[in-house]
Amino acid sequence: KLEPIRSIKKAPVEEFYQSGHRTCQGCLSALPMRLMAKAAGPRTIVLGTTGCMYVANTTYMTTPWVVPWMHTQLGAAGSAAVGTSAGLKALMRKGKMKDEPINVIAFCGDGGGADMGLSAISAALTDIEYNLLIFLYDNESYANTDIQTSGQTPWGAVTTFSPPGKKFRIMQRRWKKNVPGMLAAGHPDTRYVASGTPAIPVDMMDKVRAALRAGGPTYIHVLDPCPKGWHYDPEHSNELGKLAIETGIYPLYEVKDGVLNFTGITKQIAEGRRRRKPVREYLEKQGRFAHFKNQDYAYFQKKVDEMWEQWIIPCVVAFSYG
């Protein structure tokens, strides 16, 4: 049974994602793979769409995966999860394999999941017959193909598609798409939706277990600092992940059977027990925002304040009634 993980001492010591990958130093997209596999345990099948966590993890004749792993097409996390879960169910029903709980986890990056594969994820999250977890690792760009803008790239960030120019200093002018909020709000049959970050590992592992206990369909979104794409020294990965939460830019929450709960630092902020740090503390540590002037920091802060003060469920869904 997958018990809750409320402290690091409760986390299993066994690793199912080990050495043998070739991600960049300080990559916080490799860490959630390790934590997710650790929390899920050995009776797990992992499906991975194209992205950094496919390419860097399957160099010829090497792989960090200890559990069965399969590559699937860039936009296919949702369909691969449904297909695998349905296949297992049919084999068990026909007595061709032992009837036992097997976790099916399909991961995707923000490009593969939040942009290209969103329709298949949406379909998977309406399919109540199958137990599955879609796990989206969000490094806020198409990192694998050299940092192009995605729907998850924050306002103002430099990518290879949005370099600051003489005429326009800010080339990325869209506010980040709120994928977990959108999926939670629009898929009432989804058993569990959560946001997390590997920078707060206990919270993240606990959410993986909560999703797997809920069965399916379920979705977890994790924010992963990426030293290559965000332009900072790899030693600051963890600090940046925490700052994203402390500044209120990225809230931690879970929606279980339709009920929303903030977790960790976000809960303290939402309950007024903690103040949000200024967003500048997070932004100025990253080279992708090095062109920011005071008015850009002010705009970013205003938008985050708006999420907290004007949205009916802060940072999650901007509904208004009547």
CB-nearest residue to Mg ion: 109
Report whether 107 contacts 49 (CB < 8 A).
Answer: yes
Kindly state the DSSP code that residue 161 receives in the 8-state scheme: T
Q: Characterize the bridge pairing of strands 133-138 and 103-109.
A: parallel
Nearest approach, Cβ of residue 142 and Mg ion (Å): 6
Other C-beta atoms lying within 10 Å of the C-beta of residue 11? 17
For Mg ion, the binding residues in 136-195 under the rule CB under 5 A are 139, 143
For ligand SF4, the binding residues in 198-257 under the rule CB under 6 A are 226-229
**Residues 270, 268: Cα–Cα separation, whole Å:** 6
**E strand spans, the chain:** 44-49, 69-72, 103-109, 133-138, 192-196, 218-223, 253-256, 259-262
Q: Quick check: 50 binds ligand SF4 (CB under 6 A)?
A: no
Q: Quick check: 56 binds ligand SF4 (CB under 6 A)?
A: yes
Q: Quick check: 29 binds ligand SF4 (CB under 6 A)?
A: yes
Write the DSSP string, 13-34: S--SB-S---PPTT-TTHHHHH
Q: Which does 110 bind (CB under 5 to 8 A by kind): ligand SF4, Mg ion, none?
A: Mg ion
Q: How many residues does the chain have?
A: 322
Q: Site map for Mg ion, 96-135, x if CB under 5 A?
A: -------------xx-------------------------
**Residues 104, 82: Cα–Cα separation, whole Å:** 9
Q: Quick check: 52 binds ligand SF4 (CB under 6 A)?
A: yes
Q: Which is nearer to ligand SF4, 192 or 289 (CB)?
A: 289
For ligand SF4, the binding residues in 98-157 under the rule CB under 6 A are 139, 143
Nearest approach, Cβ of residue 24 and ligand SF4 (Å): 3
In the complex, the residues that contact ligand SF4 under the rule CB under 6 A are 23-24, 27, 29, 52, 56, 139, 143, 226-229
